[in-house]
Amino acid sequence: MAQLILYGLIYGGIISLGAIGLTLLVRILKFSHFAHGDMMALGAYLTLLFRVTMGLPMWLSVALAVILTAVAAVLIDRIFYKPLRRTSPAILLIASVGVALVLRHLIQFFWGAAPQVYQRGVERPYIVWGLRIRPTQVWILVMAVVLVIAVWLFLQKTKTGKALRAMADNMDLAAVSGIDTERMVVWTWVLGAALAAAAGIMLGMDTQLRPAMGWLMLLPIFAAAILGGLGNPYGAIAGGMIIALSQELSTMFINTAYKPAVAFVLMVLLLLVRPQGLFGGKA
């Protein structure tokens, strides 16, 4: 069981990073960004390009992939979402489904449908207090913690971060107090996409890369964001941990194949009981 909790924490870190960006996007841009999972996949595959195809060192590949994913997100926003922003959130939602479709299949076009990995071969796990953990997983945990702290510092200490939180909290009030909302929209995309890319890379390191990986992550990250109360980045982290732990622990009772459904069932139950999410937020 302790082993499952450990895996849950690793997976939870990945979900949380995806959910933080998603929750801010939903709150600030006022539409559910259904292409978020596929941005994770984009980050993961760009890393594959730099690391395996071009042979760059891993840290550089990760950095380049994160930056490029953020640039791609801003470009997609300028080309597709911005002209539609004046219509309705529903149209934007459909548009994001279209973007998701295009991204996923462009990935499949360039890299093929077969699963790929950053590094071949089997890793020897460390054994600490009877728990097995692979070196890669240690890296993932470290990266997740560092990124979460960095995001926390960014949101708490910097002017941009504070402005972002203000916008997520109350858009009109933020605009009235002189925050440049259009610039903040760009920042939201940069932050959201960068975190998504990082999460995708970590997922790729932990398991393998598949074009559908982003689509499969969409449900858990949405469940985490909703659980945490949409718009609340700290809630999203807690939500991510809850979803991941319950998915891992569920394997003690039910068929492992149903793991993805656990997030969904939890989300529906929560919506029934407490639609505003576990941690406040406005429904």
Partner 1 sequence: MEWGGIIGYGLFLLIYGGIYAISALGLNVQWGYTGLFNIGVGGFFLVGAYTSAIMTKGPDFSHLGGFGQPFLVGVLAGGLLAAVLALLIGIPTLRLRGDYLAIATIGIAETLRLIVTNEQQLTAGVWGIGAIPKPLWSTFGDSYNAFYAVVVLLAMVLVYFAIERGTRSPWGRVLKAVREDEAVAQAVGKDVFRFKLQALVLGAFFMGVAGALFAHFVGYISPEAFEPMNATFLVWVMLIVGGSGNSKGAMLGAFIVWVIWSGTEFVAAALPPTFGPRAHALRIVLIGLLLMAMLLWRPQGVLGEERQVSKLVRNEPAGRSAQGG
CA distance linking residue 83 with residue 81, whole number of Å: 6
Q: 119 — phi, psi (to 5°)? A: -140, 130
Q: By CB under 8 A, is residue 57 in contact with partner 1?
A: no
Rounded to a whole number of angstroms, the minimum distance from the CB of residue 77 to partner 1 is 13
CB-nearer residue toward partner 1: 63 or 212: 212
Q: How many residues does the chain have?
A: 283
Site string for partner 1, 112-151 (x = CB under 8 A): xx--------------------------------------
CA 199, distance to chain mean position in Å, is 6
Q: Which of 49, 102, 166, 186 binds partner 1 (CB under 8 A)?
A: 102
Site string for partner 1, 240-279 (x = CB under 8 A): ---------------x-xx-xx-xxx-xx--xx--x----
Rounded to a whole number of angstroms, the minimum distance from the CB of residue 80 to partner 1 is 6
CB 224 within 8 A of CB 19: yes
What tokens were used for 85?
Answer: 């922003």
**Amino acid at the residue 265:** V
For residue 253, give every residue at least 6 positions away whose Cβ sits within 8 Å of its Cβ, in sequence order, or none.
none
Q: By CB under 8 A, is residue 219 in contact with partner 1?
A: yes
CB 277 within 8 A of CB 229: yes
Count interface residues toward partner 1 (CB under 8 A): 46
DSSP codes of every residue in 71-86: HHHHHHIIIIIHHHTT
Q: By CB under 8 A, is residue 45 in contact with partner 1?
A: no
List the interface residues with partner 1, window 81-100 (CB under 8 A).
83-84, 87, 89-91, 93-95, 97-99
Q: Which of 213, 226, 236, 241 binds partner 1 (CB under 8 A)?
A: 226
CA distance linking residue 124 with residue 227, whole number of Å: 36
Site string for partner 1, 19-38 (x = CB under 8 A): -------x----xx-x----
